[in-house]
Structure 1
Amino acid sequence: MELLWIIALIIFVVYMIISDKKVKNSKDYKEALSQNKKPPKKLLVKRWWSWGLILILICGFFVSASNDAESHNEAYKATSHRSKKRSSVKKKKKVSVSTKTSKPKPIKNTAKAVTLGAGKYKVGRDIKPGRYVIKAVQGSGNLSNSDATINVILGNDVDSDQVTSFTTNLVKNDKINLDGIESTSFTPTPDKYTYKTQVSAGIWLVGRDIKPGRYVIRPIKGSGNLISDGSDDNLNEILGPDADNGQVSKVTADLTAGEVILSNLELIGLTKK
């Protein structure tokens, strides 16, 4: 929206310059100046309303930019269960947290099962908002969304950095991309939450999916990023068997209620310490 304000401002300034140039080149204006008389037509640059309009356009730009930034922040807060982009290099990543609880509570899942082919889809139009287990039914390829908070390779070849499923929340107006996958299923997760000691690729909430406590976390299948957000000591590791590429075979961590865990591994195990 702010682009429209900038365009309007540029158009008016250009119009003002061209208009004043025409007035200055007019015969009446030149004669008035040569005779030390007041020109018959006042230049736009000397009119108060011209500068008032410029000020309004500038203010409109800043207000629009502020509103867009606020809308972006609200949309980002709604993605508390969405994954971050897969990376082969360990980086500090952030997953927003919007819910804190100390024990599982039944929550009505609004998701509805659907199977889709390759393409681009909008949550709220093509996919109902809710929490899903997403799987490649036929073929393999990339599952991602419009702001790259979801980016994994779905398939059945775990040795090729593919994951057989990805569990996440899909929020309204998000855009989902299915690239190279012939058929992908979106299956609603159960309303009832249970504590797990093994979790597949996806986003999981401590206090709901995982019991708070101190754990040793190990890769069971596959390798990839394990990160978290919502505690004083967030996780940021690449789990796997290849130490020469910066992977670690295990990590010990205190998981606290409300902490969000993101795993891009096929399966990890959590052992109470």
Structure 2
Amino acid sequence: MKKLFTVLSLAVLLGVTVPVSAAKYTIDEYLKIREENFKNNEEVELFTGEWIVGEDINPGRYVVSVESGSGNFFVYDENDSPIVNEILGTNEIGGFDIETVTIDLNEGDKIEISGLNEVMFTPYETKFLEDEITTGMWVVGADIKPGKYIATAPEGESGNLMVFDENGLPVTNEIIGVNDSFNMGVEKVQLKLQENQVIIISGLSKINIK
């Protein structure tokens, strides 16, 4: 019997990030949906305001980025649970901006953009990650091979590294990395990744893996 892959969204409860099951697919089914969306979708430009997936932009997997400026980028699922909460920008003045976020957008999700004139949504072509995992949501078996890895943050960056199992239960939830304003993160994390697990990177540009 094929295992079910749980697509996760994030909810914030009493300051703790917890997973909420949104839909279930096998890895093969999930990859097929990704491939079909990639073929059918085109790059879309949105700006400050509120947008609905399925009305203003097609469902699919996208790399979200900006060419200038800095502002807030939020995504909520159809139950108004937060999926993404990032400061999106080009980090030109050494702030805490995230340059790209890679996410799945599902029918009915709500996108909120604030303080940005242009936000680009570029369809993501699936490929295995080898040396780094950037901000966003990633699936073991679809985006990265199962196995044992050592994760570290880029110098001067700090953020959240979370891994959830196929039932939506947390396996890893760490603040990784240190910077001038926050030095409570760990320097490195050992990850034992299994197929169907979901990795979420938030608040830093990427983690390095080896």
Q: TM-score, normalised by structure 1?
A: 0.61
Q: Quickly say closer, same or farther: Cα 1:122–1:178, change in 2 above 3 A.
A: same
The one-letter amino acid of 1:268's match is I
Is structure 2 residue 146 aligned with structure 1 residue 197? no
Gaps of 5+ in 2: none
Q: Quickly say closer, same or farther: Cα 1:228–1:117, change in 2 above 3 A.
A: same
Matching residue of 1:163: 98
Matching residue of 2:18: 93
The one-letter amino acid of 2:36's match is K
Residues of 2 paired with 1:248 and 1:90: CA distance? 20
| CA shift digits 1:15-62 (9 cap, x unpaired) | xxxxxxxxxxxxxxxxxxxxxxxxxxxxxxxxxxxxxxxxxxxxxxxx
What is the correspondence of 1:232-247 to structure 2 with a 5 Å cutoff? 234-242=171-179, 245-247=183-185
Count of equivalent residues? 189
Residues of 1 paired with 2:70 and 2:136: CA distance? 17
Residues of 2 paired with 1:261 and 1:156: CA distance? 24
Higher RCO (CA < 8 A, seq sep 6+):
2
The one-letter amino acid of 1:218's match is T
Name whichever structure is richer in helix by fraction: 1
Q: Quickly say closer, same or farther: Cα 1:261–1:255, change in 2 above 3 A.
A: same
Residues of 2 paired with 1:79 and 1:113: CA distance? 27
Gaps of 5+ in 1: 1-77
Matching residue of 1:210: 144
2:65 is paired with a residue of what secondary structure?
A: strand
Structure 1 residue 99 displacement after superposition: 3.8
1:149 is paired with a residue of what secondary structure?
A: strand
Structure 1 residue 195 displacement after superposition: 3.6
Q: TM-score, normalised by structure 2?
A: 0.78
| CA shift digits 1:80-100 (9 cap, x unpaired) | 265x479xx984532647345
What is the correspondence of 1:1-273 to structure 2 with a 5 Å cutoff? 80=7, 82=9, 84=10, 91-94=16-19, 96=21, 98-101=24-27, 107-109=35-37, 110-146=40-76, 147=80, 148-157=82-91, 159-190=94-125, 192-220=126-154, 222-230=157-165, 234-242=171-179, 245-264=183-202, 265-271=204-210
Whether the 8 Å CA contact 2:11–2:19 is kept in 1: the answer is no
Q: Between Structure 1 and Structure 2, whose CA radius of gyration is higher? A: 1
Structure 1 residue 267 displacement after superposition: 1.5
Identity in percent: 32
Whether the 8 Å CA contact 2:6–2:25 is kept in 1: the answer is no
Residues of 2 paired with 1:156 and 1:181: CA distance? 11
Structure 1 residue 233 displacement after superposition: 6.3
Root-mean-square deviation (CA, aligned residues, Å) is 3.0
Structure 1 residue 101 displacement after superposition: 3.6
Residues of 1 paired with 2:187 and 2:20: CA distance? 23
Whether the 8 Å CA contact 1:168–1:203 is kept in 2: the answer is yes
Whether the 8 Å CA contact 2:160–2:174 is kept in 1: the answer is yes
The one-letter amino acid of 1:80's match is V
